[in-house]
């Protein structure tokens, strides 16, 4: 591996064999067993040694670490230099979207996940969940050993148990079921097939907590292929989304955000941006970015789609005689879609077959198939067939299952009748769970063979047909055993995960790739280097059959919502709850509600007023007999009046671990509620028909309990308008966020400017010039979707602690970058503006002047530096910061989990009690890049320094660079007409510039909204 490469990837087996040579030496000298031992072949052992022997040495210091695998670093492996960061490609395993990763490892342990800029889907972005998933690797509560009926046993013993049961099933023809979520990993699927093939009655059943079955079925009907199209938002100039939160939680948010925002960055030279209309019941992240947002009850959704289709039919002269109701909005939308046919996109997120049929019809009429919807290379997520799952549940009920495998699913938690299911699972002869953590289902399983984290074992993924990503281990396993290996053992052919994955790729993928390389070795080398590869696919023909869609069009009638409708939705951070164990995600403020550590019943302001409820009032949600959950109310502007929206993924057993989180003192309150969990599980309120869960349920009752519950929200005041009676005449709205319409922007790039620039002349002599670099940041408010990936990225990069619900309630969250969210316009359908707010590194920093001990001073490159060990904690700087972006260490935040501490970034000081901290513009990254450039003997190139927030941003809304370099991207953007600075008039001269928020609207429209 050439040492002068900026980033270091795995290059070739040959090189690693070189490493192995070393490892054998090291092994021979000390301890043979780990390398010889067990089914894990020699490749595993070089993995341990070549890169990771040093990590072993590190881990040896740590009680919970696998000390027996540690080999002290006598000779430096030629690949690794201590204290330098190495980046390895991998594929994110946090959700099935399979985004490309660059894993930053330091001294043999992963410390940060970054998006792989070359990855065709994620394009360098990475969502909050993905960013945070690294903490799961160092989760000390993951079981280390298998559990046999709750008792920790050896792997041999566990395997014996499983193999016995399988043999029995093979003999007696007992049913063996393998239940998992949709798996996109070819290797995993191959091993499951291998395991089940040898059995008389073995079946692989999948079910998705976040399903897309309706989309699949609809396409089966209209296109004859049961496939989930690959939506191409990067090609869609007009997007009509029906309850699809594609920027937040739907299918592949990072990919969609990247594509979507690429068409929404209007420039002077090309003042273009896509048009996005959102029909939805609750205010989703996606809805908050829409140019036009129409509140509709879930029940009305199919009818709206039908009306849209009817209009499109007319335009396409293919009318099937559907009745047209007068709906000016839809006329407009239909017209826009039609104008952009072929470049438009209608997406529907509702699990409703008719709705999906109609969506397909609309796209067909618009000729979007093949352009903005790709059925040739469909997405392979969420492929579950509810029917199979229903069948399986019946089998479980009747108890005619010999062996049941649970892989990455938690039905006991997900299903309304979870307890009953748990009881039934306990009755089954053998239930084997491969859960990483002891969730509800694992607790009900007889045998738990904990799987490994995707960063410690081999794996692969095929999120979109023909697009393969590889996962490689980056640290010796800390916990559990790779599921691949378990499966191999149970299938009777023990093999290392590395071999299994290589085999899959050699046999199934390599042949399908018209690779330049002739030998697999070289191909594999390239794959590991790039992290992904695209393969040829045989394309199933799919002719469109309008009949079912037209049938739906005529079938669908206008149905009014009766009473309140419960809408269960996945939250940005927690999704379906699989990451509920993760304190970072629990503490990540929801982009819209700004609430942490809880789920709650969102009510529209009108509804709340009608029921006399305000934020924090606890209500009992009742759905059917003895199906009730108590939740605090949160009043959510922009939500439909007939809807009560509640987040999924809370109240799971995985959150019990937070019982003692946060600094303990007299006033401390636990982060968990009375039930011992964070939030409430609302599964009991949902109804299951057959194998699919309904995320909406009409006719729920809402009973005030009179109790109160203090929500931990990070933002109390939600608009830029001050309370009316406190506003002097016409000074109500503050020009913190400047926005304009596309129309106005076309006329005048500076349209919407409000702030007054400070006086140019200065009272003082210009003592301070910035001759070298001058670091500045530009944040595009139009592009920013508020997805909060940057918040977590910053938290991981800068060792920011999670402080717990009570501290957040006291407004002491520690995030260095926060996303301010402001509502505007009519309370019913509000406009939302997001503003990432971090230290503005003011040239005339008020915080610096007032610090008596010079603990915060200015660097010669324009950075506002905080010197922790000089800080005595007067908090004067915090008070004097107009942006209030400084964070104080009110306590010694506990860092007693030594395994969790492995995730800490060694380049960033861990702050102690009583000192101030804040965003540093990732000065450690600047330094790293600078040193790298110096080593190369070249000047620092633009874009070589990337702050953590910038790197992770899927929308690429953040640009950082040297303003002294006229060619740099930052300098270009600073000249933009949209550029403005917050609180410019107080002459603190911030180094962060914002690009005005542009909405694709007509000025008149804006007038009638806000005028």
Q: Which of 242, 369, 658, 883 binds other proteins (CB under 8 A)?
A: 883
Q: How far is the CB of 981 from other proteins (least distance, A)?
A: 13
Interface size with other proteins, residues (CB under 8 A): 80
Report the Cα 338 to chain-centroid distance in Å: 33
Residues 768-787 that bind other proteins (CB under 8 A): 768
Burial class (CB in 10 A: 0-12, 13-18, 19+), 665: exposed
Q: Which stretch binds other proteins (CB under 8 A): 212-220, 415-423, 671-679, 722-730?
A: 722-730
- 846 near other proteins, judged by CB under 8 A: yes
Single out the residue of 543, 560, 666, 967 in contact with other proteins (rule: CB under 8 A).
666
Asked whether 451 and 479 are in contact (CB, 8 A), the reply is no
Phi (first) and psi of residue 295, to 5 degrees: -75, 120
Q: Is residue 91 within 8 Å of residue 98, measured between CB atoms?
A: yes
Q: Please name which of 604, 686, 623 lies closest in space to residue 351, comparing C-alpha atoms.
A: 686
**C-alpha span between 254 and 712 (Å, rounded):** 27
Burial state string for 755-783 with b = 16 or more CB within 10 A and e = fewer than 16: eeebeeeeeeeeeeebeebbbbbbbbbbb
Strands 459-464 and 712-713: unpaired
What's the closest the beta carbon of residue 431 comes to other proteins, in angstroms? 46
Q: Please list the alpha-helical segments (H only) found in 593-740.
A: 605-611
Of 189 and 720, which CB lies nearer to other proteins in the complex structure? 720
For position 845 contacting other proteins by CB under 8 A, the verdict is: yes
Task: For the beta carbon of residue 1010, count every other beta carbon within 10 angstroms.
Answer: 12
Helix (H, G, I), strand (E, B) or coil at 729: coil
Nearer to other proteins, 502 or 821 (CB): 821
Q: Which of residues 793-812 bind other proteins (CB under 8 A)?
A: 807, 810-812
Contact 776, 963 (CB under 8 A): yes
Q: Is the CB of 415 or the CB of 712 nearer to other proteins? A: 712
Looking only at residues 692 through 721 of this chain, which bind other proteins when binding is defined by CB under 8 A? 715-720
- For residue 664, the cross-strand partners are none
| H helix runs in 480-560, sequence order | 483-490, 497-504, 520-530, 546-555
C-beta of residue 189 within 8 angstroms of C-beta of residue 341: no
- CA 285 centroid distance within chain: 13
Query: Which member of 914, 928, 984, 1005 binds other proteins (CB under 8 A)?
Result: 914
Contact yes or no for 275/336 (Cβ under 8 A): yes
Tokens of 565: 């409708």
Nearest residue to 960 (alpha-carbon basis) of 952, 968, 949, 970: 970
Q: How far is the CB of 798 from other proteins (least distance, A)?
A: 16
**Among 83, 765, 771, 1011, which residue sits at the site for other proteins (rule: CB under 8 A)?**
765
Cβ atoms of 513 and 535 closer than 8 Å: yes
Minimum CB separation from other proteins for residue 984, in Å? 12
Q: What is the CA radius of gyration of the chain?
A: 28
Q: Which of 33, 154, 172, 860 binds other proteins (CB under 8 A)?
A: 860
Give the nearer residue to other proteins in terms of CB position, either 237 or 596: 596
Smallest distance, other proteins to C-beta of residue 731, A: 4
Name residues contacting other proteins, limited to 987-1006 (CB under 8 A).
988-989
Compute the distance between CA of residue 991 and CA of residue 859 in angstroms, rounded to an integer. Answer: 13
Query: Please, which residue, 259 or 836, has the CB nearer to other proteins?
Result: 836
Identified binder of other proteins from the candidate list 24, 268, 843, 965, rule CB under 8 A: 843
663 in contact with other proteins (CB under 8 A): yes
Phi, psi of 778 (to 5 degrees): -125, 130
Which is it for the CA torsion 328, 332, 335, 338, positive or negative?
A: negative
Question: Which CB, 346 or 997, lies closer to other proteins?
Answer: 997
| Segment contacting other proteins by CB under 8 A, of 554-562, 784-792, 817-825, 999-1007 | 817-825
**Is the CA virtual torsion 154, 159, 160, 164 positive or negative?**
positive
- Is 872 a residue that touches other proteins (CB under 8 A)? yes
Minimum distance from residue 283 beta carbon to other proteins (Å): 18
Q: Does 857 bind other proteins (CB under 8 A)?
A: yes
Question: Quick check: 858 binds other proteins (CB under 8 A)?
Answer: yes
Q: 10 Å Cβ neighbour count for 20?
A: 22
**Whole-number Cα distances in Å, 367 to 316, 324, 360, 558:** 10, 22, 10, 27
Closer of 255 and 917 to other proteins (Cβ): 917
| Residue 870 engages other proteins in binding (rule: CB under 8 A) | yes
Selected range binding other proteins among 266-274, 301-309, 353-361, 729-737, rule: CB under 8 A:
729-737
Least distance between other proteins and beta carbon 920 (Å): 16
Q: How far is the CB of 764 from other proteins (least distance, A)?
A: 5
Q: Which of 41, 882, 906, 943 binds other proteins (CB under 8 A)?
A: 882
Q: Which residue from 767, 771, 896, 967 is in contact with other proteins, where contact means CB under 8 A?
A: 767
Closest to other proteins by CB, 153 vs 722, is 722
Q: Which stretch binds other proteins (CB under 8 A): 643-651, 672-680, 840-848, 998-1006?
A: 840-848
- Pick from 13, 983, 984, 1009: which binds other proteins (CB under 8 A)? 983
Residues in region 315-344 near other proteins by CB under 8 A: none
Q: Give me 8's structure tokens.
A: 């270091």
Contact 128, 787 (CB under 8 A): yes
CB 548 within 8 A of CB 102: no
Q: How far is the CB of 796 from other proteins (least distance, A)?
A: 21
**Minimum distance of other proteins from residue 861's CB (angstroms):** 11
Interface residue with other proteins, options 543, 726, 760, 967 (CB under 8 A): 726
Nearer to other proteins, 432 or 803 (CB): 803
Query: Which of 151/717 has CB closer to other proteins?
Result: 717
Closer to other proteins by Cβ: residue 25 or 733: 733
Q: Is 983 exposed, middle or buried (0-12, 13-18, 19+ CB in 10 A)?
A: middle
Asked if 614 touches other proteins (CB under 8 A), the answer is: no
406/206 Cα distance (integer angstroms): 10
Greatest pairwise CA separation for the chain in angstroms: 92
3-state secondary structure of 629: strand
Q: For other proteins, which residue of 321, 328, 667, 1011 counts as binding (CB under 8 A)?
A: 667
Instruction: For the CB of residue 847, give the shortest distance to other proteins in the complex, in Å.
Output: 8
Query: Which of 87, 532, 822, 980 contacts other proteins by CB under 8 A?
Result: 822
> Does 825 participate in binding other proteins (rule CB under 8 A)?
no
| Cβ(155)–Cβ(166) below 8 Å | no
At 36, phi and psi to the nearest 5? -80, -30
C-alpha distance from residue 912 to each of 317, 500, 658, 888 (Å)? 70, 46, 22, 10
Give the binding range for other proteins (CB under 8 A) out of 150-158, 191-199, 217-225, 854-862.
Answer: 854-862
Nearest to 93 by CA among 365, 357, 441, 474: 474
Does 875 bind other proteins (CB under 8 A)? Our answer is yes
Nearer to other proteins among residue 222 and residue 719 (C-beta): 719
Distance in Å, CB of 939 to other proteins, minimum? 24
**In the complex, minimum distance from the CB of residue 860 to other proteins, in angstroms, rounded to a whole number:** 7
* Residue in 33, 156, 879, 927 binding other proteins, rule: CB under 8 A: 879
In the bound complex, what is the minimum distance in angstroms from residue 858's beta carbon to other proteins?
A: 4
Beta bridge partners of 175: 201
Give yes or no for residue 635 binding other proteins (CB under 8 A).
no
Contact call for residue 848 and other proteins (CB under 8 A):
yes
> In the bound complex, what is the minimum distance in angstroms from residue 295's beta carbon to other proteins?
25
């Amino acid at each position: 591996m050439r040492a002068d490469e900026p980033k270091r990837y795995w290059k070739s087996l040959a090189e690693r064999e070189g490493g192995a040579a070393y490892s054998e030496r090291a092994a021979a000298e000390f301890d043979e067993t780990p390398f010889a031992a067990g089914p894990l072949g020699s490749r595993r052992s070089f993995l341990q040694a070549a890169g990771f022997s040093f990590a072993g040495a590190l881990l040896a210091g740590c009680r919970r670490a696998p000390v027996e695998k540690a080999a002290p670093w006598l000779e430096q492996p030629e690949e690794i230099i201590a204290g330098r960061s190495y980046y390895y490609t991998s594929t994110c395993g946090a959700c099935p979207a399979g985004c490309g990763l660059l894993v930053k490892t330091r001294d043999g342990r992963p410390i940060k996940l970054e998006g792989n800029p070359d990855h065709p889907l994620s394009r360098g972005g990475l969502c909050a969940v993905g960013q945070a998933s690294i903490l799961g690797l160092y989760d000390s509560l993951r079981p280390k050993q298998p559990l046999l009926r709750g008792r920790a046993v050896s792997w041999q013993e566990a395997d014996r148990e499983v193999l016995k049961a399988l043999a029995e099933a093979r003999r007696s023809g007992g049913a063996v079921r393998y239940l998992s979520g949709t798996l996109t990993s070819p290797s995993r699927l191959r091993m499951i097939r291998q395991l089940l093939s040898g059995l008389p009655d073995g079946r692989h059943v999948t079910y998705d907590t976040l399903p897309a079955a309706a989309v699949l079925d609809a396409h089966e009907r209209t296109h004859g292929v049961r496939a989930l199209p690959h939506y191409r938002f990067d090609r869609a100039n007009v997007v009509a989304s029906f309850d699809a939160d594609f920027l937040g939680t739907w299918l592949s948010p990072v990919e969609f955000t990247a594509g979507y925002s690429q068409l929404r960055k209007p420039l002077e030279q090309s003042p273009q941006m896509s048009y996005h209309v959102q029909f939805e019941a609750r205010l989703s992240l996606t809805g908050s970015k829409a140019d036009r947002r129409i509140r509709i009850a879930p029940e009305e959704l199919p009818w709206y789609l039908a009306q849209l289709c009817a209009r499109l039919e007319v335009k396409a002269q293919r009318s099937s005689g559907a009745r047209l109701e007068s709906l000016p909005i839809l006329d407009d939308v239909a017209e826009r879609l039609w104008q952009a046919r072929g470049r438009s996109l209608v997406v529907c997120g509702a699990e409703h077959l008719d709705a999906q049929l109609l969506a397909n019809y609309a796209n067909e009429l618009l000729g979007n198939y093949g352009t903005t919807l790709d059925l040739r290379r469909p997405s392979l997520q969420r492929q579950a067939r509810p029917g199979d799952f229903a069948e399986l549940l019946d089998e479980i009920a009747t108890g005619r299952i010999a062996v049941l495998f649970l892989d990455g699913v938690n039905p006991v938690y997900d299903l309304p009748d979870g307890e009953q299911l748990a009881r039934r699972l306990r009755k089954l002869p053998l239930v084997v769970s491969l859960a990483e953590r002891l969730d509800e289902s694992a607790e009900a399983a007889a045998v738990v063979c904990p799987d490994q984290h995707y960063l410690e074992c081999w794996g692969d993924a095929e999120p979109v047909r023909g697009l393969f990503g590889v996962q490689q281990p980056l640290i010796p396993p800390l916990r559990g055993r790779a599921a691949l290996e378990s499966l191999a053992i149970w299938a009777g052919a023990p093999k290392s995960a590395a071999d299994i994955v290589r085999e899959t790729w050699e046999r199934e993928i390599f042949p399908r790739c018209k690779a330049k390389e002739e030998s697999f070795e070289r191909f594999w080398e390239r794959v590991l280097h790039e992290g992904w590869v695209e393969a040829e696919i045989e394309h199933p023909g799919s002719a469109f059959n309008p009949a079912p869609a037209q049938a739906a069009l005529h079938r669908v009638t206008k149905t009014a919502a009766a009473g309140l409708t419960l809408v269960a939705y996945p939250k940005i951070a927690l999704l379906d709850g699989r990451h509920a164990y993760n304190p970072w995600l629990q503490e990540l403020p929801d982009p819209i509600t700004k609430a942490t550590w809880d789920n709650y019943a969102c009510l529209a302001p009108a509804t709340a007023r009608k029921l006399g409820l305000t934020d924090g009032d606890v209500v009992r949600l009742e759905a059917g007999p003895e199906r009730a959950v108590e939740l605090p109310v949160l009043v959510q502007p922009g939500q439909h009046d007939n809807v009560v929206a509640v987040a999924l993924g809370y109240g799971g057993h995985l959150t019990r671990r937070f019982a003692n989180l946060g600094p303990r003192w007299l006033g401390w309150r636990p982060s968990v509620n009375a039930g011992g969990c964070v939030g409430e599980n609302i599964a009991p309120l949902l109804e299951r028909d057959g194998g699919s869960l309904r995320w909406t349920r009409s006719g729920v009752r809402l009973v005030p309990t009179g109790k109160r519950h203090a929500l931990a929200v990070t933002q109390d005041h939600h608009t830029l308008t001050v309370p009316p009676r406190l506003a002097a005449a016409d000074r109500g709205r503050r020009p913190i966020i400047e926005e304009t319409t596309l129309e106005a922007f076309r006329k005048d790039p500076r349209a919407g400017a409000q702030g007054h620039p400070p006086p140019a002349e200065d009272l003082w002599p210009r003592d301070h010039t910035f001759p070298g670099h001058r670091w500045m940041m530009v944040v595009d408010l139009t592009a920013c979707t508020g997805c909060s990936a940057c918040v977590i990225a910053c938290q991981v990069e800068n060792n920011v602690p999670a402080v717990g619900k009570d501290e957040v309630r006291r407004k002491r969250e520690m995030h260095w970058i926060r996303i301010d969210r402001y509502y505007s316009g009519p309370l019913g359908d509000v406009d939302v503006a997001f503003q990432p707010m971090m230290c503005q590194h003011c040239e005339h920093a008020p915080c610096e002047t007032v610090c008596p001990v010079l603990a915060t001073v200015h660097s010669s490159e324009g950075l506002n530096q905080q010197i922790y060990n000089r800080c005595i904690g007067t908090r004067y700087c915090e008070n004097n910061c107009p942006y209030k972006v400084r964070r104080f260490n009110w306590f010694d935040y506990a860092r007693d989990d030594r395994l969790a501490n492995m995730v800490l970034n060694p380049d960033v000081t861990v702050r102690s009690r009583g000192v101030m901290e804040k965003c540093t513009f990732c000065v450690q990254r600047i330094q790293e890049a600078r040193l790298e450039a110096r080593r190369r003997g070249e000047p620092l190139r633009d874009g070589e320094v990337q702050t953590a927030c910038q790197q992770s941003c899927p929308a690429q809304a953040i640009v950082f660079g040297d303003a002294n370099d006229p060619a740099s991207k930052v300098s270009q953007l600073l000249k933009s007409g949209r550029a403005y600075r917050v609180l410019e008039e107080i002459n603190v001269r911030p180094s962060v510039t914002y690009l005005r928020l542009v909405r694709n609207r007509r000025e008149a429209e804006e007038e009638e909204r806000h005028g």
